[in-house]
């Protein structure tokens, strides 16, 4: 009972935490699957995190559980490849779901709310070197970034679906109806940057999907700055 109560308390904190729009947003990537029975609590937590203005919460559905009876309708091989790249960067030997990666560097089981809250709070105390701003014009996104630190960065444009509900008919979650939040539909590298001067680029983002832009150190290092348009 103590564990259940502490988890509920943390989830309440996630829902009621102040939205501090002026702060650098903390990027939380959830690697999840509709074929994973352990994932729904993490999916629900990501939903709560997505309500905050100081967090960019992204769900990256992987495809390596599809073989057990249900093909994740949002699963992408590209998401699986990204998770494996993070594992290599961290010298980890395995990948798993649900996994959250906070700020591009801290890896945690996605169903451990207290650890996740601690990591988010820790990242909120940091000063990110890159400031990112976005504007949309029709199907184009204008990206502007400034940096206080020269480094080797990649600029990634993410398009995501804010919410969708799926009736799962087979696999470990058979018979459940689960809502998913901020489902990544595409992730494209649109620029490389050395952090000098002001970066200004325009990228295509057709359709009505929300977008986020991450500026990340090369080779899956720390996320140095990010912004989103919902």
Concatenated DSSP letters of 197-216: SEEEEEEE--SS-EEEEEEE
Q: Kindly tell me if the per-residue pLDDT of 3 is higher than 80.
A: no
**What ranges do the domains of the chain cover?**
2-13+25-229
Asked if 14 and 108 count as a contact pair (C-beta separation under 8 A), the reply is no
Confidence class of residue 51 from pLDDT cuts 50, 70 and 90?
very high
DSSP states of 80-93: HHHHHHHHHHTT-S
Of 127, 81, 125, 89, the C-alpha closest to 107 is 89
Confidence class of residue 21 from pLDDT cuts 50, 70 and 90?
very low
pLDDT digits (tens, 9 = 90+) for 144-196: 999 999 999 999 999 999 999 999 999 999 999 999 999 999 999 999 999 99
Residue 54, phi then psi, degrees to nearest 5: -95, 10
Ranking 72-76, 123-127, 142-146 by mean pLDDT, the lowest is 123-127
> Residue 160 has what pLDDT?
97
pTM: 0.90
Residue 5, phi then psi, degrees to nearest 5: -65, -40
What is the overall mean pLDDT for the chain?
Answer: 91
Task: Summarize the confidence of residues 106-126 as an average pLDDT.
Answer: 96
Enter the tokens of residue 92.
């980890």
> Residue 22 has what pLDDT?
52
- CA–CA dist 132, 145 (Å, integer): 5
Task: Summarize the confidence of residues 123-145 as an average pLDDT.
Answer: 95
DSSP states of 140-171: EEEEEEEESS---EEEEEEEEEEEEEEE--SS
Asked if 102 and 26 count as a contact pair (C-beta separation under 8 A), the reply is yes
Q: Kindly tell me if the per-residue pLDDT of 75 is higher than 60.
A: yes
- CA–CA dist 120, 102 (Å, integer): 7
Q: Could you tell me whether strands 55-61 and 26-32 are parallel, antiparallel, or unpaired per DSSP bridges?
A: parallel
């Amino acid at each position: 009972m103590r564990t259940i109560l502490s988890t509920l308390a943390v989830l309440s904190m996630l829902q009621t935490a102040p939205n501090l729009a002026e702060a650098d947003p903390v990027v939380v990537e959830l690697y999840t699957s509709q074929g994973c029975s352990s994932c729904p609590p993490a999916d629900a937590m990501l939903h709560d995190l997505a309500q905050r203005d100081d967090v960019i919460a992204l769900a990256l559905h992987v495809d390596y559980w599809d073989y057990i009876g249900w093909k994740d309708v949002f699963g992408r091989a590209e998401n699986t490849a990204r998770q494996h790249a993070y594992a290599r960067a961290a010298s980890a030997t395995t990948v798993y779901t649900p996994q959250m990666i906070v700020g591009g560097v801290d890896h945690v089981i996605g169903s451990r709310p207290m650890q996740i809250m601690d990591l988010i709070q820790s990242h909120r105390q940091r000063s990110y070197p890159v400031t990112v701003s976005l504007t949309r014009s029709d199907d184009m996104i204008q990206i502007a970034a400034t940096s206080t630190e020269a480094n080797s960065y990649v600029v990634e444009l993410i398009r995501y679906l804010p919410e969708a509900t799926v009736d799962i008919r087979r696999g470990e979650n058979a018979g459940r109806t689960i809502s998913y939040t901020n489902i990544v539909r595409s992730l494209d590298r649109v620029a490389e940057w050395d952090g000098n001067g002001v970066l200004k680029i325009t990228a295509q983002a057709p359709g009505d999907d929300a977008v986020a832009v991450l500026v990340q150190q090369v080779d899956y290092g720390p996320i140095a700055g990010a912004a989103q348009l919902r």
